[in-house]
Amino acid sequence: MDAIAPPLPCQRHLFEVPDDISYLDAAAWSPLPRSVREAGEAGLLVKSRPWAHPREAVPAQAERARAAAARLIGAATDDVAIVGSVSHAMATVAANLAVVPGGRVLRVADEFPSLCYAFDRLARATGLIVEEVSRPEDGDWTAALLAAIGRAGAPPLAIATLTPLHWTDGGLIDLDRLAPAVHAAGAALVIDATQAAGVLPVDVGRWRPDFLAFPTYKWTLGPYALAFLYAAPHRQDGVPIEENTGNRSPASGARRYDRGELNDPVLLPMAATGLELVLSWDVPAVADRLRRLTDRLAEDLVGLGLAAAAAHLRAPHIVGLRAPGGVPPGLTDRLRRDGVYASERSGALRLSPHVWADERDVERCVAALRRSL
> What's the pLDDT band for 252 if we cut at 50, 70, 90?
confident
Which residues does 17 contact at the CB level (< 8 Å), separation at least 6? 23, 31, 356
Per-residue pLDDT at 263 exceeds 60: yes
Average pLDDT (305-331) is 94
Alpha helices per DSSP H over the chain:
34-48, 58-73, 86-94, 117-126, 141-149, 175-184, 204-207, 267-281, 283-300, 331-337, 359-372
Integer Cα distance of 259 and 266 in angstroms: 15
> What's the pLDDT band for 325 if we cut at 50, 70, 90?
confident
Are 257 and 229 in contact by the 8 Å Cβ rule? The answer is: yes
Max CA distance (Å), the chain: 66
Can you give the pLDDT at residue 248?
Answer: 83
Instruction: Give the CA angle between residues 102, 107, 112 to the nearest 5°.
Output: 130
Integer Cα distance of 306 and 324 in angstroms: 8
Per-residue pLDDT at 1 exceeds 60: no
What DSSP state is assigned to residue 248? S
Domains located in the chain, CATH noted:
12-32+282-371 (3.90.1150.10), 56-279 (3.40.640.10)
What DSSP state is assigned to residue 78? G
Integer Cα distance of 62 and 247 in angstroms: 13
Write down the mean pLDDT value for the chain.
96
> What's the pLDDT band for 3 if we cut at 50, 70, 90?
low
For residue 150, the Cα-to-chain-centroid distance in whole angstroms is 27
pLDDT (tens digit, 9 = 90+) per residue, 197-217? 999 999 999 999 999 999 999
Nearest to 366 by CA among 310, 315, 299, 290: 299
Per-residue pLDDT at 143 exceeds 60: yes
Percent of the chain at pLDDT > 70 equals: 99
For residue 213, the Cα-to-chain-centroid distance in whole angstroms is 8
Integer Cα distance of 308 and 85 in angstroms: 31
What percent of the residues of the chain are helix, what percent strand, and what percent coil, each to the nearest 5? 40, 15, 45
Per-residue pLDDT at 4 exceeds 70: no
Q: What is the pTM of this model?
A: 0.97
